[in-house]
Amino acid sequence: MAERRIARGFRSVAGERIWVADAAPSRAQRAARPPLLLLNGIGASTALVEPLLERPELDRVIAFDLPGIGASDPPSRMRRMRQFAALVAELLDALDIPRAHVLGVSWGGALAQQFAFQYPNRCARLVLAATSPGALPPSPRVMLRMSTPRRYTDARFFERVAGSIYGGDLRYDARAVAAVAQRMVAPTLRGYASQLYALAGWSSLLWLHRLRQPTLVMAGRDDPLVPLLNARILARRIPDARLEIFDCGHLFMLTRIQGVVRSLARFLG
């Protein structure tokens, strides 16, 4: 397969300094079809999804750090989900990309839904992974542990709570926990708070039926953070959607990456 090249650097977007990672096998494939734009989970940086960027089976994949996350500067202002979707559109403008496939993971799945609804002509295909329409929240215990970025800043705390938050392999596999921990980059408090603020009160339930993009919904069978019922609701309410369930937890995008990449390659053609 062609050599994979990842270009990294800052972009000025909507008054923010955004860190972008742009991965593609060749210049020819960059122009051949819509790239895959990856929208990450709460507090998660591009470092966490580096294994996905490196996969040679995929064409062009673009990931970026939201304001206050990873290498990006702290946000200049707080945003609601609609405003984050506008930020994504401006990023595509800055990259000279008229249309993209959009993959949203966890919190990023909410943003992906919002973007597909708000900018339907700019979203070719939609992939929703380990995410929710704002329907069924996790247990209060899990919500409490997710309310702060402590798992990013305290390695021992992460090791203690990883299984109860993420489920799947992280319940019993210390090596899987360590592999994820190595890729964790602490967000700024303002950046993390801005994502919590955007999600508060957000729901797509009233307009999911209006999404027209072909949609792949991916979920982990043992996901304490986003219970499986959320994925079933998404697949049922979006007209052109299908559901694929992985025998793992919330982080199946990493722990089941071989199967995930095969599914993505088939779906994106």
* Residues annotated as catalytic (active site), given as ranges: 106
How many residues appear in the chain?
Answer: 269
Query: Is the four-CA dihedral 17, 18, 19, 21 of positive or negative sign?
Result: negative
Neighbouring residues of 173: CB distance < 8 A, sequence distance ≥ 6: none
Cβ neighbour number for residue 199 with a 10 Å cutoff: 18
Task: Please tell me what DSSP assigns to residue 130.
Answer: S
Q: How far apart are CA 126 and CA 87, in angstroms?
A: 18
Among 140, 107, 153, 159, residue whose Cα is nearest residue 224: 140
Residue with tokens 């603020």: 197
How far from 10 is each of 18, 21, 49, 71, 165, CA to CA, in Å? 5, 9, 18, 9, 32
